[in-house]
Structure formats: C-alpha cells, structure tokens
Structure 1
Amino acid sequence: MPKRERGRRALQDEVSRRIQQIYEIGEDGAKIRVPAPVPHPRDARGRNWDMTGFGNVYGYEASVRAAVDKVRDEFDLNDAVENRAPNPFGD
C-alpha cells in the first residue's frame, strides 16, 4: 500500500499531536518542541524524511523516536503543492 503524502507543516503537526498523546509526556505536562521534517533520499525502509533537534525532550527520547518513526512509516514528505494531499490539520 502506498504511503500518504503530506507537506512539512502537516507532518510536524501530526508528530506533535502523537507526542502529546504519549502517556508520560501528557501526565508530566511536558511540552516538546517539534522541529520541521528534513527530507533525505529514500532509505532501506522506504522513508524519505526525518526529524532531529527536538526541544525539551530529555527523558522522553525513546518514546519520541518511536512516535516519529511510526509517522515516517505512514507518510512521505512531499512539498510540491500540486502533489500534496489535502491537509486535515488546516495548513
């Protein structure tokens, strides 16, 4: 099944939403700063973007990485306006 495509802002919003749903982050009231996705050539797992440089992530690194990787498995980064799917997050 092909991945759905999203622009940078939509991916950033989706990762942020999923991070805030992580139990320990929500329980602690932590606010994680989510960076913009960075494109890269498709890797062995078929992913074409990644995120690094999260703010206020100390102690939550493994949970945040798992959330990012799950979104990377579901969505491709595509900034071309004519190819972008409608953004459900209002971007």
Structure 2
Amino acid sequence: MAKRERSRRVIKEEVSRRIQQIDEIADEGMRVRVPDPTPHPRDARGRNWDMGRFGNARGYEQAIRAVVDDVRDEFDLGDDPPSAVPNPFGN
C-alpha cells in the first residue's frame, strides 16, 4: 500500500490526536507536547521523518514511540507549501 503524503502540521496533529487517545494518558488527563516531525533520508522501512523530545511524556515513552512508528508507516512527510506571509527576517 502506498503511503499518503502529509504536511508537518497535519502529521503533528495526527500524532497528537492518537497520543491523547492512549488509555493511560487519557485516564490521567495528561497533555503531551508533540514536536514537529523532522525529515530525514528514507530508512530501511521507507520512512522519511521522525519525532523526538516529547514534552510531559515521562513514563509513556514506549506507547508514544508505538504511535509515532505507526504514523510513520502510514504517512510520508511532504514539502510544506511556502507561507503566504513573507518572512520579515529574510529566508
């Protein structure tokens, strides 16, 4: 099955949504801070991005890693379209 390409924002939102549905996290009312996906060359499993340094995630690392790996297997990180608002600080 071909992977669907998604933007950084969409991948981050999807990972966040799935993490917040982890039973232990939902039961304790925790809010895990999700970082932006970081692109990298395709690995042996064909994945082109990863995430690290989740905030407020102590004790949930394995469950979060499983979610991230599932989303990595499902979606490719695509190029974000250029912002419609120019960067006042240059490129």
TM-score bracket for the superposition, by shorter chain length: 0.7 to 0.9
Higher relative contact order (CA 8 A, sep 6+): 1
Counterpart in the other structure of 2:71: 71
Residue segments in structure 2 that go unaligned for 5+ positions in a row: 82-91
Q: Give the structure-2-normalised TM-score.
A: 0.87
1:21 paired residue number:
21
1:80 CA drift (Å): 4.6
Alignment TM-score, normalising by the size of structure 1: 0.87
Q: How many residues align?
A: 81
> Partners of 1:48 and 1:56 in 2: how far apart?
25
- What amino acid maps onto 2:55 in structure 1? G
The answer to whether the 8 A contact 2:7-2:77 is kept is yes
Conserved in 1, the CA contact under 8 Å of 2:37 and 2:50?
yes
Percentage identity across paired residues of the two chains = 67
3-state SS, counterpart of residue 41 of structure 1:
coil
Alignment of 1:1-91 (within 5 A): 1-81=1-81
Flag structure 1 segments of 5+ consecutive residues without an equivalent.
Answer: 82-91
